[in-house]
Structure 1
Amino acid sequence: MRQILAFLALACVLNGRENPFLPSDINSTDIITTNITKIAPPLDTQIVKFPSDAREISHVVFYYKSIDGSIKQKVVDINASFDWHDEILIKNQISPNKTATKILDVSVTSIKPNENPNQAVVAKTAANPTIAPKIEPPLKTFNFMDLVKFDIYNSKININTKDKKIRDFTMDKPSKIIIDFQKTGTSFNTKSFKIDKGSVKKVVFGSHEGYYRAVIWLDGDYNYDVRQTGNGYSVTIK
């Protein structure tokens, strides 16, 4: 029995491998080693949309993967206002050529027809030039009976009326500005005007005892101011 046990021990020593974790066949292809890591696709363009209550961007936080695989962050201060209707674009842009193209300032240089460009005459501006004020045309204008006239702009509504404003307030879901105007002896059926210009979707007029009401339906959440003007009232939407 002792001879048999000694023989088995000797056989195990002769058949043992120096590294048992390697395959017995050195030509085996079962083990695959690589140092290639998965790389995300190149950044092209990302479009970000904001809800209607957004007015300013304070800062942007980017979470990025470092070369060692760890997740880090970079904070970029913005502190700028924007229109929530607009789309915020994140785009990978190749560094532009630093060589700037010289731009001719046509506001101070004039060239007569058939004149040598090298003999350009520099126009002298007047000491006190008269500049006509820029007038912004309304996006839409409409009249309701002989009571009010509405001029719709991007962020403003001019209401031309001789009637006194009693009150103004807001309601949400959806967002609306309600303005009541004092008027006695006026009765009419509810009237709705489709606008879809600027921030205004529609305006609805309703008749009540002693006053009539204008309900301005907006396309999102806004603050507003109402001030009296020479022709009526001006509503600023912000």
Structure 2
Amino acid sequence: MKKIILIASCTLALIARENPFVPDDINITTLDSTNINQNAPQLDKVIAKFPSDARELVSATFSYKSVDGSIKQKSIDINASFDWHDDIVISSQSPVTDEATPALDVSVTTTGEQTKQAAAKQAAPKPLSIPPKIEPPLKSVAFMDLIKFDIFNSKIEIINKDQMIRDFIINKPDKIVIDFKKNVEFSTQTIKVNKGPLKKATIGAHKGYYRVVLFLDGNYHYAIRQSGNGYTLTLR
């Protein structure tokens, strides 16, 4: 029995491969190895939108995957105001390098004629400054001959001749209520606007005054002051 076991062991040793981890036909099988994980798609552009009560960006925190696969965070201070209507865009770009510009040492000799020309140029009258451009309203709507609204991006010009007696704001939905002193009679009407911050305006008559309700597209702080043609409502 011992002789049989010895003979069998020798036979197996003769037919065994030198390296059992190498395939039978090394010309057919490709031996590849990698420790690189499949990455997410290349960052192009990400657009973030904010609710209507957002006014300042304080900081941004990014969660990222490091080379070893762990999740880490990077925070960036911003501290800047912005318009919540705008899109905040996150994109990737190559770093900008500032190449040093060689300084040029140029010696200039001024002749007498050049001095006269320079003095004449300085004495020449300066061109008149260009007056600032007047911003046209995005839309203007009027109700009877009673009141008119000029709508801009961040303000509403209320054109009328009546005394304002009160104003207040109501949320959910966001709207500003303004009462003007005047005895008038008319049925309540709503004017659709959908321009700038104003979605619609409702005007209704009451005893001794009429009420204007301005429905806004979001949450705002507001200030109202008397102006030449009526009142200016500023939104921020």
The residue type equivalent to 1:136 in the other structure is E
What is the rounded CA distance, in whole Å, between the counterparts of 2:185 and 2:37 in structure 1? 76
1:113: which partner in 2?
Answer: none
The residue type equivalent to 1:215 in the other structure is V
Q: What's the offset of the Cα at 1:97?
A: 6.6
What is the rounded CA distance, in whole Å, between the counterparts of 1:227 and 1:35 in structure 2? 67
2:154: which partner in 1?
Answer: 155
* Residue among 188, 196, 199 paired with 1:198: 196
Q: What's the offset of the Cα at 1:145?
A: 1.8
What is the rounded CA distance, in whole Å, between the counterparts of 1:169 and 1:220 in structure 2? 12
| Alpha carbons 1:66, 1:72 under 8 Å: kept | yes
| Alpha carbons 1:149, 1:161 under 8 Å: kept | no
* Residue among 190, 208, 211 paired with 1:210: 208
1:51: which partner in 2?
Answer: 51
What is the rounded CA distance, in whole Å, between the counterparts of 2:166 and 2:41 in structure 1? 60
Secondary structure of the 2:163 match is coil
After superposition, residues 47-126 of structure 1 pair within 5 angstroms as 47-96=47-96, 98=98, 126=126
The residue type equivalent to 1:192 in the other structure is T
Secondary structure of the 1:204 match is strand
What is the rounded CA distance, in whole Å, between the counterparts of 1:78 and 1:48 in structure 2? 15
5+ long unaligned stretches in structure 2: 1-28, 101-120
| Alpha carbons 1:167, 1:181 under 8 Å: kept | no
- Residues 125 and 77 of structure 1, relative CA distance in 2, 3 Å threshold: farther
2:35: which partner in 1?
Answer: 35
* TM-score of the pair, normalised by structure 1: 0.71
Aligned-pair identity in percent equals 53
* TM-score of the pair, normalised by structure 2: 0.71
RMSD after superposition: 3.7
- Residues 212 and 126 of structure 1, relative CA distance in 2, 3 Å threshold: same
Q: What's the offset of the Cα at 1:49?
A: 0.9
- Residues 92 and 183 of structure 1, relative CA distance in 2, 3 Å threshold: same
Secondary structure of the 1:164 match is strand
The residue type equivalent to 1:209 in the other structure is K
Q: Kindly tell me the number of residue pairs found equivalent between the two proteins.
A: 218
| Alpha carbons 2:164, 2:178 under 8 Å: kept | no
| Alpha carbons 1:65, 1:72 under 8 Å: kept | yes
What is the rounded CA distance, in whole Å, between the counterparts of 2:170 and 2:153 in structure 1? 19
What is the rounded CA distance, in whole Å, between the counterparts of 1:142 and 1:44 in structure 2? 42
What is the rounded CA distance, in whole Å, between the counterparts of 2:126 and 2:178 in structure 1? 48
* Residue among 204, 224, 227 paired with 2:225: 227
Q: What's the offset of the Cα at 1:98?
A: 4.7
